[in-house]
Amino acid sequence: MYQQITLTPGETYTGNFKVINPGDNTIDFRYTVRVEPFSVEGLDDLSFTANGSYNQIVDWIELSREEGIISPNQTEEVRFYIHVPEDAPAGGQYAAIMVTSEEYRLDNSTVDLREKYEASHLLYTEVAGETVRKGKVDNANVPGFMLSGNITGSSTITNEGNVHSQATHTLQVFPLFSKEEIYTNEEKPKTTWIMPGNSAYTSIAWEETPNVGIFHVIYNVEYEGVNSNVDKIVIIYPLWPLLLIFLIIFKILWGKEEIRRMTQSFVKSPHSKSGAFYSPNLSTTHSTGPFIIRGKNQTRTPETTATPAQQVSVKGEISGERLNKSLNHRKHAAHPTIQRENTVPRYQSNGTQTPNR
């Protein structure tokens, strides 16, 4: 619970609040009242510690009572008086009136302590005078791509003045190709209080954001008469369909590459330097490196490779005689000669064929 009050130096302000015991049994409440300084770190992180010149009001407050006992369904009023000094500094002053209560029962003059509760009545006061209202909005943003979650507008607001001030946040969501609002909080905009000298991260979200969609989003922050506006297209698409599409594309590309490798492995000898290909219709034998590719439906068999100077056997060892034969064979192959002979067969008188000499 909080209360905003405007104070004038040299005057006294009178206020009040109520302490209520809503119980419907015989348990009474004992309560105590005290005044403490308070400040706010960020947006709503209350700290009940002194914050320099902005908590002088703690010494200005007088309470009508500091303790009491309340029966069930009873209410007690506590008054407080703020005596503002003549030389009170202009700007914000902040204090918290704390009420601590305990369940309390009287039974044959004994006290039964049950449970403790605590509540605060926050005082946001402004002392009239030369107040400074100044601030800025930083990092106003709406995410453009989301895997999940709610569409959210966020910003960081800094109060550079000497008095608390209020920021207003609105969020509008439209379909991509329509101006008809799906969501808006313009009728009940979100408001946040920023303490002097403090920065606060604030946000507003569309709680019913669907899992998939494309939307036109407008996020606006109004602070100290300045509007900070974000107008953005937001895409929401979960992660699992993206992974599925990626796996399908990878499978297709991997399959094509595997087919290409298998085709090359079948058609082209992996050890060929000349790029010779195998054709199943060839009936001759071709040497394509350390293998021989034979005719159709033939198997590949190891073949020796040769240089002009030597012929290596399959086992890698050959005798000098075989080497000479191999070299002679290559010599004749390199310089072929044609010997013309009478190819007409001669016959003996008995009718048998005799070879030509």
**Confidence (pLDDT) at 291:** 43
Radius of gyration from C-alpha coordinates of the chain: 49
Tell me the average confidence (pLDDT) per consecutive run of 10 residues in the chain, 357 residues long.
Answer: 91 92 74 90 74 89 92 89 96 94 58 66 94 93 93 94 94 94 94 89 93 95 92 90 81 77 64 47 45 44 47 45 50 47 47 47
Domains 2-127 and 135-236 share a fold: yes
Q: What is the CATH T-level fold of the domain 135-236, as seen in this structure? A: Immunoglobulin-like (2.60.40)
Please state the pTM of the whole predicted model: 0.61
**Confidence (pLDDT) at 268:** 53
Listed by start position, the domains of the chain span 2-127, 135-236, 269-334
The 3-state secondary structure of 38-85 reads CEEECCCEEECCCCHHHHHHHHHEEECCCEEEECCCEEEEEEEEEECC
* 150 to 144, 161, 212, 213: CA distances (angstroms): 12, 33, 11, 12
The dotted CATH code for 2-127 is: 2.60.40.10
**Confidence (pLDDT) at 23:** 66
**Confidence (pLDDT) at 51:** 67
**Confidence (pLDDT) at 266:** 61
